[in-house]
Amino acid sequence: MKYIFILFIFPIVGFSQKVIPFVDFNNYFRSFQDESSRVVEFQKIIDFKGGDEFVVYIDNKGNLRLYDGTTPKDLTNLNVEYKVSDHLLAWKIAGTINIWDSGKLKTLTYNGRSFEVKDSIVVYEDLRYNTVNAYWKGEVYPLYTVVDDLYMPVFIGENIVAFKDNGNFYKIFWNGDIYDLGVWNGAIEFQGGTDVITLNDPTSRTFMVFDKGVFIDVESFFMGKYKAGRGFVAYEDLNGNLNYYGNGKKEQLSNFSAKFWEVKDDIVVWSENSYVYVFSKNEKIKVCNFIPADYLLKNNVFAYRNIMGGVSAIVDGVNYELTNQADSQYEIYGSSVIVKLFNNSYIVLKNGKKFTI
């Protein structure tokens, strides 16, 4: 079976990356910022998770700490469950759920259980009131109350939530408001990203998109596969064509019945004639004539394993060869790519420039 990839990147605003975390050959925990690296911790750390604005880590003593490009900040010295998105951090100690948002600490509940962290929203269970709530832009919004045991929403996107209440009434939370979808006893498969959620509507039997507060029938039949990114959706129609819908516009991306495609943030990747393509700023660019062994998608970046086994990346439609050293590890932070070489040195691609550290 032959798999082919094409990349579609939609125009966006660039992502500024404050912190690019890595561990050097001395086991120092460092951050690359302002075109140079600085030591965050001299002692070997246990774990770290990075977002677009900060990195959270557990130091050698088991303390949970946060570094946002200035000085490390202590959060707790207890064992915690923590989750990080590009902009938010949440952690739980026993039943207490705390968050970090734009430099401010806040306790959401002292009786929490399950929680999920996305780009700009935290959804959590509050056992005190038997409610499921959403934290968004500094405010807490109750989504639903359950008489029996609580359950999390059926789908949580980057800033949007689909859920059903006790009466099987499906609803969508977006931008601080709740929108009614309808009553359905069975399950509905939702796919969403930022500002959009898509589904096959079991009532109207249409393929529907919730787009910034409006329900729109995009196709008059169910679609077999669909995914959502930042303000758009991609889906396969009945003929196997790959289509795009966003900002009220529908267009075909490929008619080659792609057997593989993926969506992440501002990117759609799919197959066409054994070549990898990028569509960026209304321009289709041929990337390479081989199938990458692995790749990463995030924001406006496509990082992939090149023909030599090293790492290359497409950023804003420009193809950069970062290294030809085989089996190099790589990660995306914001719109930057960091590559770890065999000798524990690193290459960073940031703002179109390559740095060796």
Q: Which structure tokens are listed for 201?
A: 């509507």
CA distance 310 to 305: 6
Instruction: Identify the pLDDT of residue 4.
Output: 46
User: Mean pLDDT per segment of 10 residues, for the chain of length 357 residues?
Assistant: 46 61 95 94 95 94 94 91 95 96 95 97 97 97 92 97 91 97 91 97 95 95 95 92 91 82 90 77 76 92 95 92 96 96 94 94
Instruction: Identify the pLDDT of residue 64.
Output: 96
**3-state DSSP assignment of residue 216:** strand
Instruction: Identify the pLDDT of residue 5.
Output: 47
CB 310 within 8 A of CB 341: no
Instruction: Identify the pLDDT of residue 285.
Output: 77
Domains and CATH numbers, the chain: 6-356 (2.140.10)
Instruction: Identify the pLDDT of residue 13.
Output: 44
CB 244 within 8 A of CB 218: no
CA distance 291 to 259: 13
Instruction: Identify the pLDDT of residue 238.
Output: 87
pTM over 0.95: no
Instruction: Identify the pLDDT of residue 17.
Output: 63
Report residue 245: phi and psi, to 5°. -135, 130
CB 83 within 8 A of CB 90: yes
CB 235 within 8 A of CB 198: yes
Instruction: Identify the pLDDT of residue 163.
Output: 97
Instruction: Identify the pLDDT of residue 131.
Output: 97
Which amino acid is it at 6?
I
For 52, which DSSP code?
A: S
Q: What angle do CA 151, 153, 155 make, to 5 degrees?
A: 145
